[in-house]
């Protein structure tokens, strides 16, 4: 088990966002968590990457190591857990290249960085064409590519993806998921949260359904696609 989450509780002030969720991800898997807006999808990812604190008693382990003892930057730098946050959060005042340099801030393996950079540029040739441009001037699709590529450069044992389809035209969305498949094929585990449940379940091997801060269903992605409750609630059929 690469990523193991047990009894994860998170609150924002007095509002409870996660009520003790449990799930796990195997190395090399593509797993998705689907659910409505505000169900706790982003909160789950933010808790894993330590952007927000988890409550006492929560357990998050990565390869058997307790993540909760690390700060957000160490989760990336030491454990190789990268996070593509909701809304991309690229640094618009930096060039594309500078965004990449920043992503490798804590890395010392210069040669591997070069190889990773080349690989990312091969995956997203548009970014190489625009490498000296300010990231804020990129189109939405290109910004999403940068967010994914940058996360990959920061560490890529597992990639946490928060709504990578958001705001993308359907054709760009498919391209993006093709690229993500390529990243996974090279050995990066993927944990994806999506509102676009159909897209996510077609892409993933396994899935979980989250409602009001609790996981209510889990199973093979294909079986969730056929599940009548899921169909009714999330697939609009």
Partner 1 sequence: MDYFLQNLINALQWGSFYAVISIGYSMVYGVLMVFNFAHGDIFMLGTYIGFAIATLFIAVFSALLPTWVIFAAVVIITMFLASWIGVFVEVVGYRPLRQAPRASAAITGLMIGIIFETGILIFLGAKRLSFPPLMESHVYNIGGVYFTNIKVMVIVISLILMLALHGLIQKTKWGMAMRAMSFDFLAVPLMGVSINIIAPLTFAIGAGLASVAGILYGQAYPILDPYMGVLIGWKAFVAAILGGRGSIKGAAMAGYLLGFIEIFVAMVFPSTFRDLIAYSIILLILTYRPRGFFGMEYSTKLRL
Q: Which residues bind partner 1 (CB under 8 A)?
A: 49-51, 71-74, 76-77, 82-83, 85, 89-94, 98, 101-107, 136, 150-151, 154-155
216-222's contacts with Cβ under 8 Å and 24+ in sequence apart are 218/23, 221/32
Contact between 191 and 198 (Cβ < 8 Å): no
Is 14 or 93 the residue whose CB approaches partner 1 more closely?
93
C-beta of 10 vs 224, nearer to partner 1: 10
**Min CB(157)–partner 1 separation in Å:** 13
Dist. CA 172–CA 166, nearest whole Å:
11
Shortest distance, position 197 Cβ to partner 1, whole Å: 25
| Token digits of residue 235 | 């697939």
User: What radius of gyration, in Å, describes the C-alpha atoms of the chain?
Assistant: 17
Comparison of 152 and 208: residue with beta carbon closer to partner 1: 152
- Among residues 206, 201, 143, the alpha carbon closest in space to that of 176 is found at 143
Question: In angstroms, what is the minimal distance from the CB of 164 to partner 1?
Answer: 15
Residue 137 or 229: which CB sits closer to partner 1? Answer: 137
What's the min distance (Å) between Cβ of 91 and partner 1? Answer: 4
Return d(Cα 198, Cα 222) in angstroms, integer. 10
């Amino acid at each position: 088990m690469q990523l193991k989450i047990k009894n994860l509780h998170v609150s924002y002030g007095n509002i409870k966002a996660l009520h003790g969720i449990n799930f796990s991800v195997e190395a090399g898997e593509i797993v998705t968590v689907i659910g409505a807006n505000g169900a706790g999808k982003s909160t789950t990812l933010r808790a894993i990457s330590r952007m927000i604190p988890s409550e006492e008693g929560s357990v998050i382990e990565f390869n058997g190591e307790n993540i909760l003892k690390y700060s957000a930057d160490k989760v990336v730098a030491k454990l190789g857990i990268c996070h593509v946050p909701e809304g991309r959060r690229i640094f618009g005042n930096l060039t594309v290249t500078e965004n990449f340099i920043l992503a490798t801030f804590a890395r010392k393996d210069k040669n591997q960085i070069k190889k990773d950079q080349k690989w990312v540029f091969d995956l997203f040739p548009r970014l190489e064409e625009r490498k000296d441009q300010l990231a804020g001037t990129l189109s939405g699709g290109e910004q999403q590519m940068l967010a994914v590529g940058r996360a990959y450069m920061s560490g890529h044992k597992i990639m946490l993806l928060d709504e990578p389809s958001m705001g993308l035209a359907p054709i760009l969305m498919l391209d993006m998921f093709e690229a993500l498949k390529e990243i996974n094929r090279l050995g990066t585990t993927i944990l994806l949260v999506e509102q676009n449940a159909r897209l996510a379940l077609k892409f993933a091997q396994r899935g979980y359904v989250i409602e009001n801060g609790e996981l209510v269903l889990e199973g093979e992605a294909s079986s969730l696609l056929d599940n009548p409750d899921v169909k009714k609630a999330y697939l609009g059929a």
